[in-house]
Amino acid sequence: MTTRLFLASQSPRRRELLRQIGVDYEVVDVDVPERREPGEPPEDYVSRVAREKAGAGLLQLAAVPGAVVMGADTEVVLDDEVFGKPADAADAAAMLRRLSGRRHRVVSTVWLVGAGREEHATSLSTVEFMVLDDAAIAAYVASGEPFGRAGAYAIQGRAGAFVRHLEGSYSGVMGLPLYETGELLRRFGRERGAS
């Protein structure tokens, strides 16, 4: 049976990254609440949300033979606190002030879920920001780039200039770790470009 890959995400960055490695896919729209449970470790939270996205997508595609759904989640973690997407400009500025001059972790997990089979992989990266003054933070927030992004920054955009050091996966910090994603697809028998 031919598999059909579906991406359970509206993220333009994830779509762009999959296209970058030549993966054919379709999109399935899911609405999964992203709320961390009390005491839930950050890695478990990110994995759970990614799995719930993939599972919700597969439920919608029950009648599609060979459907495999990819769900992913990426979060910024500082001192065990998960920084999601900023609610507004003040929230974005507060996040950036806390990240300024510090090292934080980025957890990015990908799940592939099909009928009777599921696998996942996690990428852990460490990002160190330069010290950001209030003017730099205000200018960055005013650019609009922090909105809709975990931790209020986009490493592939203007915030790339804030990154003093990165250990791990650049694409994982963007939202989809390509090495881990490629490995999952190969294990599922979907070589790049297969349909």
Is residue 91 flagged as an active site residue?
A: no
Domains and CATH numbers, the chain: 4-187 (3.90.950.10)
Q: Is the pLDDT of residue 48 over 90?
A: yes
pLDDT at res. 116: 86
Which residue, among 33, 34, 31, 42, has the nearest Cα to 9 in the 3D structure?
31
Average pLDDT, the chain: 93
Q: Tokens in use for 128?
A: 């160190």
Q: Is the pLDDT of residue 194 over 70?
A: no
Give the mean pLDDT of 77-97. 96
The active-site residue out of 31, 44, 73, 133 is 73
Which residue, among 158, 161, 122, has the nearest Cα to 143 in the 3D structure?
158
Q: With contact defined as beta carbons under 8 Å apart, do 14 and 25 qualify?
A: no
179-193 pLDDT, tens digit per residue, is 999 999 998 875 444
Other C-beta atoms lying within 10 Å of the C-beta of residue 101: 12
| Residue keyed to tokens 């950001």 | 132
pLDDT at res. 190: 57
Bigger pLDDT: 115 vs 69: 69
Q: Within its chain, how far is the Cα of 175 from the centroid?
A: 3
Give the residues across from 68 on adjacent strands. Answer: 5, 114
Other C-beta atoms lying within 10 Å of the C-beta of residue 90: 10
* Calpha distance 47→33 (Å, rounded): 13
pTM here is 0.92
